[in-house]
Structure 1
Amino acid sequence: MIPDARTDTEGAPRRRVVDGSHVDVAIIGGGQAGLSLSWHLTRAGTDHVVLERDTIAHDWIDRRWNAFTLVTPNWQCRLPGYPYDGDDPTGFMKRDEVHAWIRRYARSFAAPVVEGVLVTRLREGRAGYEVVTDQGTLTADQVVVATGGYHRPVLPAAAGRVAPHIVQVHSADYRSPEALPEGGVLVVGSGQSGAQIAEDLFLAGKRVHLALGSAPRCARFYRGRDCIDWLDEMGVYDIPVEAQVGGLTKRESTNHYMTGRDGGRDIDLRAFARDGMALYGRMTTVEGTALGFTPTAEASLDHADSVMESIKTNIDEYIERAGIDAPTEARYSPVWRPEREVEALDLDAAGIASIVWAVGFRSDYEWIQVGVFDGAGHPTHRRGVTSAPGLYFLGLPWLHTWGSGRFAAVARDAEHLASRILTHEAPALFEREPVSG
Structure 2
Amino acid sequence: MAQHYDVVVVGGGQAGLAAGRQLALDGRELVVLDAAARVGDAWRQRWRSLRLFTPAAVDALPGMTFPAPRNHRPTKDEMADYLEAYAQAFALPVLSGCAVDKMTRADTGFALTVDGERFTADHVVVATGPLRAPRVPAFAAGLDPGVHQLHSADYVEPAQLPAGPVLVVGAGNSGGDIAMDLAPYHPVWLAGRATGRVPGWLDASCYQVLPHVRTDRGVGRAVARRLAGRGTPLVGIGRADLVRAGIRRVPRVTGVRAGRPLLADGRELAVRTVVWCTGYRPGLGWLDLPGEVPGLHFVGMQFQNTLASGIIGGAGTDAATVVAAMRRD
For 1:143 and 1:285, how far apart are their aligned partners in 2? 41
For residue 187 of structure 1, the aligned residue among 154, 162, 168 is 168
Task: Report the equivalent of 2:73.
Answer: 92
Q: What is the CA deviation profile of residues 161-184 of structure 1, one whole-angstrom value per residue up to 9, with x for unaligned ones?
A: 111111111011111111111112
Unaligned runs of 5+ in 2: none
Task: Report the equivalent of 2:146.
Answer: 165
Letter of the 2:107 partner, please give it: R
Q: What is the CA deviation profile of residues 121-142 of structure 1, one whole-angstrom value per residue up to 9, with x for unaligned ones?
A: 1111113111122141121111
1:46-57 alignment, distance < 5 Å: 46-55=28-37, 56-57=39-40
1:235-314 alignment, distance < 5 Å: 235-243=209-217, 244-246=220-222, 249=225, 252-253=228-229, 254-258=231-235, 266-273=236-243, 276-295=246-265
- On the 8 A contact 2:129/2:310 being kept in 1, the answer is no
Task: Report the equivalent of 2:4.
Answer: 22
- On the 8 A contact 2:70/2:204 being kept in 1, the answer is no
- On the 8 A contact 2:211/2:313 being kept in 1, the answer is no
| Cα distance, 1:273–1:131 mapped onto 2, change above 3 Å | same
Letter of the 1:130 partner, please give it: A
The TM-score, its normalising length taken from structure 1, stands at 0.70
- On the 8 A contact 1:117/1:135 being kept in 2, the answer is no
Aligned-pair distance for 1:389? 1.9
Letter of the 1:201 partner, please give it: L
Letter of the 1:119 partner, please give it: V
| Cα distance, 1:220–1:271 mapped onto 2, change above 3 Å | closer
For 2:131 and 2:210, how far apart are their aligned partners in 1? 24
| Cα distance, 1:135–1:114 mapped onto 2, change above 3 Å | farther
For 1:170 and 1:131, how far apart are their aligned partners in 2? 30
| Cα distance, 1:367–1:175 mapped onto 2, change above 3 Å | same
In the alignment, structure 1 residue 212 sits paired with structure 2 residue 162: no
Unaligned runs of 5+ in 1: 1-18, 259-265, 296-342, 373-386, 427-437
In the alignment, structure 1 residue 355 sits paired with structure 2 residue 280: no
Task: Report the equivalent of 1:376.
Answer: none
Task: Report the equivalent of 2:59.
Answer: 77
Task: Report the equivalent of 2:284.
Answer: 365
Q: What is the CA deviation profile of residues 170-204 of structure 1, one whole-angstrom value per residue up to 9, with x for unaligned ones?
A: 011111111111112111110111111111112x2
For 2:306 and 2:210, how far apart are their aligned partners in 1? 9
Task: Report the equivalent of 1:122.
Answer: 103
Letter of the 1:239 partner, please give it: V
For residue 344 of structure 1, the aligned residue among 264, 267, 287 is 267
Aligned-pair distance for 1:269? 2.5
SS of aligned partner of 2:197: coil
Task: Report the equivalent of 1:36.
Answer: 18
| Equivalent pairs, count | 325
For 1:275 and 1:410, how far apart are their aligned partners in 2? 35
SS of aligned partner of 2:255: strand
Aligned-pair distance for 1:289? 4.2
For residue 389 of structure 1, the aligned residue among 287, 294, 303 is 294
Which structure's CA Rg is the greater one?
Answer: 1
For 2:71 and 2:203, how far apart are their aligned partners in 1? 12
For 2:74 and 2:241, how far apart are their aligned partners in 1? 25
Letter of the 2:281 partner, please give it: R
| Cα distance, 1:236–1:51 mapped onto 2, change above 3 Å | closer
User: RCO greater where, 1 or 2, for CA within 8 Å and sep 6 or more?
Assistant: 2
| Cα distance, 1:275–1:346 mapped onto 2, change above 3 Å | same
For 1:207 and 1:108, how far apart are their aligned partners in 2? 46
Letter of the 1:282 partner, please give it: R
| Cα distance, 1:356–1:219 mapped onto 2, change above 3 Å | same
SS of aligned partner of 2:86: helix
In the alignment, structure 1 residue 45 sits paired with structure 2 residue 45: no
Task: Report the equivalent of 1:419.
Answer: 324
Letter of the 1:276 partner, please give it: G
- On the 8 A contact 1:76/1:407 being kept in 2, the answer is yes
Letter of the 1:185 partner, please give it: V
- On the 8 A contact 1:219/1:227 being kept in 2, the answer is no
SS of aligned partner of 1:241: coil
Letter of the 1:345 partner, please give it: E
SS of aligned partner of 2:242: helix
Task: Report the equivalent of 2:50.
Answer: 68
More strand per residue: 1 or 2?
2
Aligned-pair distance for 1:214? 4.1
| Cα distance, 1:134–1:414 mapped onto 2, change above 3 Å | same
Task: Report the equivalent of 1:136.
Answer: 117
| Cα distance, 1:291–1:409 mapped onto 2, change above 3 Å | closer
Task: Report the equivalent of 2:303.
Answer: 398
- On the 8 A contact 2:100/2:112 being kept in 1, the answer is yes
Aligned-pair distance for 1:38? 1.2
Q: What is the CA deviation profile of residues 280-304 of structure 1, one whole-angstrom value per residue up to 9, with x for unaligned ones?
A: 1111231344332224xxxxxxxxx
Task: Report the equivalent of 2:156.
Answer: 175
- On the 8 A contact 2:188/2:247 being kept in 1, the answer is yes
For residue 137 of structure 2, the aligned residue among 125, 135, 156 is 156
Structure 1 range deviating more: 272-281 or 211-220: 272-281
For 1:118 and 1:245, how far apart are their aligned partners in 2? 34
- On the 8 A contact 1:241/1:250 being kept in 2, the answer is no
